[in-house]
Structure formats: C-alpha cells, structure tokens
Amino acid sequence: MPDAQAVATAVADLVCQAQQAALRKPLGLATGRTMEPVYAALRLQLGRLSPEKQQAIRDGWLSFNLDEYVGLAADDPRSFAAFMADQLQRPLGLRADQVRLPDGLAADPQAEAHRYATALAAAGGLGLQLLGLGGNGHVGFNEPPCGAQSPCRCLELSPATRTQNAGAFGGDAGAVPARAITLGLVEILAAERILLVVTGAAKAGILRRVLEEPPHDNLPASWLQGHPAVTVIADAAALAG
C-alpha cells in the first residue's frame, strides 16, 4: 500500500464486509495512532451504506477491545474506553455495552481480566481481529517476553511502551499507568482472521523482524506467524525496513 490512507481504506473495507456477514463473531478492536485513520475510514464507509444496512450493522454490533490501562476510568480522556467512545461508539450510534473493553477501575484487575476473557468466550470468541504493532513487538499489551499460551491478564507495562504511549499523557512516560489488562495471545490467536496493521517508517525495523524471525517470546507479534489466516496490511514506509 502506498500510504497510511490506503491502508486505512483497505482495512475499513474488510471490517465493513465482516460486519455485514449474517453469521459473525465479535469484532476485535485495537487502539493507538495507527487505528485513527482506520476508524475515520470506517465511519466514512459505513456512512455510505443504505440506512437499512447501517441499522443492521448497528443492531448486530459487538466488539471487544484488546486492552485497557489499569487505574483509568472509562470517562478519563486518556483511557482506551474514551478513545473508542470518540472514534466509533458515539459516531456510529452504538450503545456502550456493544463496544466492550476491560474495566480499568476494577478493584481486582486480575479478576477483571478473567471476567473479560469469560465474557468474550461466552460471546463466541473473536471473528475479525485488528492489531497494531508496538515498537517493541507487542500486540495488544502482550509485552516481551510473552509465549503463545499467554492468556488474558493484568501485567506490568515495559518502560519502552510507557515511553511510546506518553503522548496521551502530556509526554510524561511516568504518567502512563504502570499496568494494563490485555487479551493474551491465546484469545488473539483463536480469532478467525487477523489483520496486522502497520504504518510509518518508525515501525519498519520491528515489522521486518516480525516477518523474518522464527517465532520467539521476545517478539510477541512473531507468534502470529502460526495463525492460519493472518494478513499484514502495511504502507510502503513500514515495509521499507
């Protein structure tokens, strides 16, 4: 793909198609800068469908996000819940319970991770899963080292990830929550189809490693190589590594 806009359009096309399938499992969604143009393209494409099709998609929508920071309320503008409310839930006219995320304020985050995984399993597991790529090779918040059998859990974020995500926290890595709840590779690899979305020159080095190195714990995204239906959708800058 030539650029991030082309990537966004292609990913939005696939999500749009998936959300029109009669029998479909929940959609797996990601946050992050990579997803902002994707969700903008999705809003645009869904808005071009007939009112009947839009209503059918609204009625049937159920998505599970990958992760959430521990300690942030859903209405905290820095939370992933707030990101999803801004990007998709409110613009598409969805109810809050149709766009699910782990509860960052749960008193027992480990128990919340278990509850979230149980709710996902009860809903049938994931159909189409969107993934971004962390600068250290994480997907969701599965920080290295991380095996393919890692379940949904609460974990410590690495200094690299807190630095990568400091932008939403006034540029202060120390203000980024120290822990998060994330779906594990177990739930991600059980999705029917995975789209790994990667844009920008800053991701070129890590994307090359993910594509070329044999799977190993220090590069969590490398475990995606074992999935039968994974597609990497990247722009030229990310593929130039």
What is the contact surface with ligand GLP in residues (CB under 6 A)?
Answer: 30-34, 66-67, 132-134, 140-141, 161, 165
| Nearest approach, Cβ of residue 20 and ligand GLP (Å) | 25
68 vs 148, which CB is nearer to ligand GLP?
68
Question: Which of 68, 103, 112, 143 is an active site residue?
Answer: 143
Is 138 in the active site?
yes
Q: How far is CA 25 from CA 151, 205, 226, 229, in A?
A: 19, 33, 21, 15
* List 67, 68, 112, 187, catalytic entry: 67
- Give catalytic status of residue 136 as yes or no: yes
* Residue 138: CB minimum distance to ligand GLP, A: 6
> Is 36 one of the annotated active-site residues of the chain?
no
Catalytic-residue membership of 67? yes
Q: What is the dihedral of CA 120, 123, 126, 128, to 10 degrees?
A: -130
Q: At closest approach, how far in Å is the CB of 134 from ligand GLP?
A: 4
Q: In what order do the strands lie in the sheet with 179-182?
A: 67-69, 179-182, 153-156
Catalytic residue among 65, 68, 112, 136: 136
34 or 63: whose CB is closer to ligand GLP?
A: 34
Q: Give whichever of 8 and 92 is closer to ligand GLP, judged by the CB atom.
A: 8
Output 30 or 194, the one with its CB closest to ligand GLP: 30
Separation of alpha carbons 195 and 46, rounded Å = 19
Catalytic residues: 67, 136, 138, 143
